Amino acid sequence: MLRRLFGRKEQPKPEEVQQQLAQQQQEEQERIEESLQRTRRGAFGDIFNLFKGKEAAAEPITEELFEELEMLLYSADLGPQTVEEVQYVLRKRYQDAKLTTRPQLYDTLKEVLTEVLQEGYEPIKARWEAWMQPGYQPPDPVDESLPMSEEQFKEAAKKLHVILVIGVNGVGKTTTIAKLANYLQNRGEKVVLAAGDTFRAAAIEQLQVWGERLGVEVVAQKQGSDPGAVVHDACNRAVNLRADTLIIDTAGRLHNKANLMEELRKIYKVAGRIVPDAPHETLLIIDATTGQNGLTQAKAFAEIAKLTGVVVAKLDGTAKGGIAFAISRNVGVPIRYIGTGEKMTDLAEFNPRQFVNALFG
């Protein structure tokens, strides 16, 4: 939709963009709601029933209630530390505000959980917002068929936004990249992908299939080649194509393998040489079904990589992604997106309040 509006030679009218965007966002929101519904039916649905269910709502607040709640929070993978903290804060507020009914306590619980998620949260600054400002002047059309001069290359390099996607094996990096590419394209960006997983069988092909589906270029080499070399190529290519964003796929790596983490460092060096300050974003993908190890992962990756965000994937399952709470609380890196399925449209920007509401109802 927006892609058409942001064709290089036209200047879109702000109202047009607003309207299209609003519509798009609403559709996305509905889809996400649907997906999270399933999650809600699990533990969080039980929490709802505990507090606001027909009979329960009229009952007084008891010690048993807190115990039941504790159990439910544990089963959502919040982890011992976060559960204790939430319980502590909840009790305190309950006492301080002298709450009497369960629904009241419920709302307080949602408040507390939202606050946990808000630690380190930053709304994503959309680059296309600049295009919607009144008086926006699109850049002079460039004949992209001509080769670039060194000056032009440097200028284009400054404008390229590079996103590095990392995580342990099997979390959904490649699928998330496809979703992200789709998401950005729908907001008018020209995206290029780098097939940086040169290890796993058919990892390159997997990304290439997505590339075809999206109509997006994928820079790749042979399986077994050096990921740094692929990144180098991709940065060059993306700049030459005057792309807005380059998303780099990497091989899954367990965070306790020192030399694989070392490999990541090298990728940083290579990217930074061609595109100043690249990668500008490093997204860690966490599988929503992951337990407490998700926190260990986040901490370990944060040490090696300059993490700028976390994506919680596979929230369409029954796992509540409670580890998101623990990560928010402990790692100080915001959650940027959530993944809710295997289709390229199954991605949403993360928003603490919306997330809690969607899960709790």
Partner 1 sequence: MAMFDSLSERLQGVFEQLSSKGRLTEEDVDAGLKEVRLALLAADVNFKIAKEFVASIREKAVGGAVLQALNPGQQVIKIVYDELVTLLGEGAVKLNIAQRPPTIVMMVGLQGSGKTTTTAKLALYLRKSSGQRPLLVAADIYRPAAVAQLESLGKQLGVPVYSEPAGSKPLEIVHNALARAQELGLNMLIIDTAGRLNIDEMMMNELVQIRDQMQPHETLLVVDAMTGQEAVRVAKDFAEQVGISGIVMTKMDGDARGGAALSVRSVTGVPIKFIGTGEKADALEQFYPDRVASRILGMGDVLTLIEKAQSEFDEKQALELQAKMRKGTYDLENFLEQMRQIKRMGSITDLLGMIPGLGGALKNSDLNIDNDDLKHIEAIILSMTTQERRDPDVITASRRKRIAKGSGSNVHDVNVLLDQFKEMRKMMKQLTGNNTQRGLGNIMRMMKQKQGGDTRLPFGAMRDEEGHALLAAPTNGSSNRPAAPSNGVNRGGSNRNKKNKKKR
Query: Where on the chain is the footprint of partner 1 (CB under 8 A)?
Result: 38, 42, 71, 74-77, 79-80, 168-172, 198-203, 205-206, 208-210, 223-226, 251, 254-260, 262-263, 287, 289-294, 296-297, 314, 316-320, 322-323, 342
For partner 1, the closer of residues 233 and 244 by Cβ is 233
CB of 17 to partner 1, least distance (A): 32
CB of 316 to partner 1, least distance (A): 7
Q: How is 250-278 classified by DSSP, letter by letter?
A: E----TT-HHHHHHHHHHHHHHHHHSTT-
For partner 1, the closer of residues 218 and 271 by Cβ is 218
CB of 74 to partner 1, least distance (A): 4
CB of 106 to partner 1, least distance (A): 21
For partner 1, the closer of residues 223 and 354 by Cβ is 223
Determine if residue 279 is left, alpha or beta; phi over 0 gives left, psi from -120 to 50 gives alpha, anything else beta: beta
Q: How is 192-215 classified by DSSP, letter by letter?
A: EEEEE--SSTTHHHHHHHHHHHHT
Taking alpha carbons only, the member of 161, 232, 160 closest to residue 196 is: 232
- Ordered strands of the 191-196 beta sheet: 217-219, 191-196, 245-250, 161-166, 281-287, 309-313, 335-339, 347-349
For partner 1, the closer of residues 14 and 361 by Cβ is 361
From CA 361, how far away is CA 359, in angstroms rounded? 6
- Strand, helix or coil for residue 128: coil
From CA 229, how far away is CA 176, in angstroms rounded? 23
> How many Cα atoms sit within 13 Å of 262 on the Cβ side?
3
CB of 304 to partner 1, least distance (A): 10
End-to-end Cα distance, the chain: 31
CB of 58 to partner 1, least distance (A): 27
For partner 1, the closer of residues 188 and 196 by Cβ is 196
For partner 1, the closer of residues 17 and 171 by Cβ is 171
- Tokens of residue 69, six digits: 């709640």
Taking alpha carbons only, the member of 314, 323, 315, 325 closest to residue 358 is: 315
For partner 1, the closer of residues 294 and 334 by Cβ is 294
**Residue owning tokens 């879109």:** 12
CB of 258 to partner 1, least distance (A): 5
